Amino acid sequence: MNAVAPIIAAADERTLTATRFTVPGMRCAGCIAKIERELPKVDGIIAARANFSAKRVAIQHDPAIGEDRLTEALCNLGFEAQPVADNPLGQETGERQQLMRALGVAGFGMMNVMLLSVSIWSGAEGPTRDLFHWLSALIALPVIAYSGRPFFASAWMALSHRRTNMDVPISIGVILATALSLYETITGGGHAYFESAVMLLFFLLAGRALDAEMRTRTRAGIGALLGRMGKAASVIGADGTTRRVPAGNLEPGMLVLVAAGEALAADGAVEDGTSAIDNAMLTGESAPEPVGPGSAVHAGAINLSAPIRVRLTHVADDTAIAEIARLMDEAGQSRSHYVRIADRASRLYAPVVHSLAALAFIGWMIAGAGWHQSLVIAIAVLIITCPCAMGLAVPAAQVVASGALLRRGLLVKDGSALERLAECDVALFDKTGTLTLGEPCADVAALDPQARSVALGLAQASRHPLSRGLAAACLRAGVEPAAVEDIREVSGAGLIGRWQGMNVALERPEGEQQALATRLRIGDTAQTITFADPLRSDAAATLAALRGQGIAASILSGDRAAPVAAMARELGLAAEAEASPQAKLAALEALKADGRRPLMVGDGLNDGPALAAAHASIAPGTASDASQQAADAVFIGEKLMPVALAVQVARRTMKIVRENFAFSIAYNVFAVPLALFGLVTPLIAAIAMSVSSLVVVANSLRLARSTRP
């Protein structure tokens, strides 16, 4: 199946190191083939292996080659890449794998015990039945001990904190059913419930595995988008040589060299050189900021045009970014108190079920049925009410919904995010990068084809946001780049090159201008190209859709008042401008104090604390790393509609979940009297359990169609 399996000579293996990169640009089989075939042709790279689902590439290489060379090699193939730290998702993958193993074991046990049980139900008697019971016990006991661990451990945790959760009634039911069945087997009795206990574990594990699968899948997607912040810096030593130092080992007073295109790893002041920096991560402002000697620069900013030397002032936990991260941490605390709907349901459910079982036992004792029969009936009540359908009701619906949203470009981090999204009743939007695209978009309509082609030829050579915006606009218009030679980027001035013997340039227009602009010069003629940060094309439609769901929206932005007010008028929204991260946080807290449940949509790091404090939050895929991590969901692409869709699907999901709960309760209303009157045999328990689970899953599958337009 796997076409390109890199073969590594065993002798080399000791001297190799492996580095992993996240490569978000991997989109098709061609990309995999290109990476795995072309990379090993670079000197020192032995093998490359792509993981398409996680958008990662693992490279086996000579330790002499640094991360920059590998990044460059990937870049030469046309892929933007970032080295990733060692296995950040390892723990979660481990948990998911443990669940999958438990599911496999439970599936094996269920099939074999069921095979024996069917023979008993069809009339096996006497020694055959005893033999089959013993065989069932032999299979079921180790299976239950192994597969039940996730539930037993969680139930024990809850009980030792004097709380109860979904796993407590499950564990009690399974353990009692097993104990009773074992007793029946030893005494040669007729009713052993091994298949019910194992089947229960299997269905519940399926729910858990689905839940874990959803989390890892979307987190891998988000992880692939992360990693733009500087992780190391080139420190200039006393002798003028540079060495790479990880961000954690930097110290104030160090002089670092920041190359064009590199992200800063700490706060500092520019000592030498002029350049422009992209501060979008910190402020959300899309226009590049010119810096020269003396300017303060912050970690997370990207140096755009020319190398600068920076004297570090604040490192590691003292940087402006770390301060915001702390605010986010504190703001996120309130969210950990949120109680998932399944646990809320089980808080009501568990006491009812347990008292019913106790009542059944006492009732039959009073009626004079004897210890054994009373106990059998009480345990039958526990088995039949064990929240099998309930354990599946929530994860099944949420997994189907998140899968449907994933196809529409929205990654929801976990089930609790969906539950909170459904409850939101007011929405706050950041402006730049959220309502707008956040990247300058050039107006090239006024240029003739030749000028466009020269402009593209020049703009392609630079990482400056304006150049990139211009290049993107030209490429969208189907322009072929002209062969511009000798392109140089002059810091603070622009791009200069030669084309057909003429001097051509993209330069900074004269005078202070209101709008972002650049001037294209070809020979002696000059034209001004203006840039706008346009609204996302469906922003108005999205806001209307939200209003249709009863969610009023407003703007909460850190930008200047004038552009915010203009946009608020255009969209017909209330707006608050020039809000600091603390002010945004305060606005959210005020709403929550009023009993509202705010949905925050924002991208900048300055939105981070607000994202963490909101009842639910969504960030665009272009947002800063920290914001994406703080948000409950991330949407990808140029459309804003996934935000409205997320709320709509989340509400439909909760409707389905409530239907599933209602079904479970209705099923119990019929089944519990049967159990109370001692009519539940192992056969009836098994049928009831699988039918209710299948109905719940089938009902949840209806959500797959919920995102169809």
Give the Cα separation of 290 and 112 in Å (integer).
71
Written as one letter, the residue type at 130 is D
Q: Rounded to an integer, what distance in angstroms lies between the CA atom of residue 615 and that of residue 593?
A: 12
Of 1 and 669, CB closest to another protein: 1
Least distance in Å: CB of 220 to another protein?
10
| Residue 104 interacts with another protein (CB under 8 A): yes or no | yes
56 near 186, Cβ under 8 Å?
A: no
CA–CA separation, 287 and 283 (whole Å): 10
248 vs 316: CA distance, rounded Å: 6
Integer Cα distance of 261 and 417 in angstroms: 35
Q: Two tokens at 161?
A: 């904190």
Instruction: Give residues 110-139 in contact with another protein (rule: CB under 8 A).
Output: 111-112, 115, 128, 131, 135, 139
Residue 544, CB-side half-sphere exposure with 13 Å CA sphere = 5
Please select the residue that binds another protein; options are 83, 95, 101, 463, rule is CB under 8 A: 101
The SS3 call for residue 3 is: coil
Task: Supply the DSSP string of 558-624, one letter for each residue.
Answer: SS-HHHHHHHHHHHT-EEE-S--HHHHHHHHHHHHHTT--EEEE--SGGGHHHHHHSSEEEEETTS-
53 binds another protein (CB under 8 A): yes
Beta strands 45-51; 56-61: pairing state = antiparallel
* Residue with smaller CB distance to another protein, 51 or 313: 51
Q: Does 236 bind another protein (CB under 8 A)?
A: no
CA atoms within 13 A on the CB side of 187: 11
Q: Applying CB under 8 A, which part among 30-38, 160-168, 524-532, 654-662 lies near another protein?
A: 30-38
430 is catalytic: yes
CA distance 333 to 656: 29
503 touches another protein by CB under 8 A: no
- 9 forms part of the interface with another protein (CB under 8 A): no
Q: 242 and 223 in contact (C-beta within 8 Å)? A: no
Min CB(684)–another protein separation in Å: 25
State the catalytic residue, choosing from 267, 430, 559, 625. 430
Distance CA 498, CA 602 (A): 42
Shortest CB 203 distance to another protein, Å: 18
Residue placing its CB nearer to another protein in the complex, 56 or 584: 56
Nearer to another protein, 2 or 514 (CB): 2
Angle at 395 between CA 390 and CA 396, to 5 degrees: 90
DSSP code of residue 672: H
If binding is defined by CB under 8 A, does position 28 make contact with another protein? yes
58 binds another protein (CB under 8 A): no
- Residue selected from 37, 344, 476, 488 as contacting another protein according to rule CB under 8 A: 37
Q: Which of residues 134-193 bind another protein (CB under 8 A)?
A: 135, 139
The CB-of-13 to another protein minimum distance in angstroms stands at: 18
Q: Which is nearer to another protein, 58 or 320 (CB)?
A: 58
Which is closer to another protein, CB of 108 or CB of 338? 108
CB of 178 to another protein, least distance (A): 20
Interface with another protein, residue 87, by CB under 8 A: no
| C-alpha to C-alpha distance for 152 and 173, rounded to whole angstroms | 11
Nearer to another protein, 3 or 669 (CB): 3
52 sits near another protein (criterion: CB under 8 A): yes
Of 26-34, 284-292, 646-654, 674-682, the window that binds another protein (rule: CB under 8 A) is 26-34
404 near another protein (CB under 8 A): no
Q: Least Å distance between CB 101 and another protein? A: 6
Rounded to a whole number of angstroms, the CA Rg of the chain reads 31
Taking the complex as a whole, the smallest distance from the CB of residue 5 to another protein amounts, in Å, to: 9
User: H or E element: which one contains 236?
Assistant: strand 232-236
Backbone angles phi, psi at 445, to 5 degrees: -65, -30
- Residue 123 CB, shortest distance to another protein, in Å, is 15
* CA atoms in the 13 A half-sphere facing the CB of 112: 17
Q: What count of Cα atoms within 13 Å lies in the side-chain half-sphere of residue 33?
A: 4
Binding mask 581-620 for another protein (x = CB under 8 A): ----------------------------------------
Distances from the Cα of 22 to the Cα of 7, 25, 201, 261, 263, angstroms = 22, 9, 37, 18, 17
Q: Which of 8, 18, 33, 665 binds another protein (CB under 8 A)?
A: 33
| Chain centre distance of CA 321 | 21
Q: Is 322 among the residues that bind another protein (CB under 8 A)?
A: no
Binding status of residue 1 toward another protein by CB under 8 A: yes
Question: Nearest distance from residue 43's CB to another protein, in Å?
Answer: 19
CA 650, CA 102: separation in Å to the nearest integer? 30
Q: Which of 50, 331, 360, 571 binds another protein (CB under 8 A)?
A: 50
Helix (H) or strand (E) segment spanning residue 26: none
Stretch that binds another protein, among 23-31, 68-76, 405-413, 641-649 (CB under 8 A): 23-31
Cα angle 352, 669, 170; round to 5: 50
Q: Which stretch binds another protein (CB under 8 A): 22-30, 505-513, 518-526, 590-598?
A: 22-30
Nearer to another protein, 30 or 511 (CB): 30
What percentage of the chain's residues is helix, strand, coil (to nearest 5)?
55, 15, 30
Shorter beta-carbon distance to another protein: residue 116 or 166: 116
Among 51, 71, 528, 530, binds another protein (CB under 8 A): 51
Give the binding range for another protein (CB under 8 A) out of 16-24, 47-55, 233-241, 574-582: 47-55
Q: How far is the CB of 99 from another protein (least distance, A)?
A: 11
From candidates 77, 100, 306, 544, binder to another protein by CB under 8 A? 100
**Residue placing its CB nearer to another protein in the complex, 96 or 639:** 96
For strands 525-532 and 517-522, give the pairing: antiparallel
Which residue in 105, 470, 482, 605 binds another protein (CB under 8 A)? 105
The nearer residue to another protein, 104 or 332, going by C-beta atoms, is 104
The one segment of 1-9, 157-165, 443-451, 672-680 that binds another protein by CB under 8 A: 1-9
End-to-end distance of the chain based on CA atoms, in angstroms?
Answer: 36
d(CA 211, CA 560): 43
How long, in residues, is the chain? 709
Closest CA to 99 of 215, 208, 214, 217: 208
Instruction: Tell me how many residues contact another protein (CB under 8 A).
Output: 30
User: In terms of CB distance, is 113 or 379 closer to another protein?
Assistant: 113
| Range in contact with another protein (rule: CB under 8 A) among 52-60, 244-252, 481-489, 525-533 | 52-60
Q: Which of 643, 537, 633, 649 minimizes the C-alpha distance to 225?
A: 633
Binding site for another protein (CB under 8 A): 1-4, 7, 28-30, 32-33, 37, 50-54, 97, 100-101, 104-105, 107-108, 111-112, 115, 128, 131, 135, 139
List residues with catalytic annotation. 430
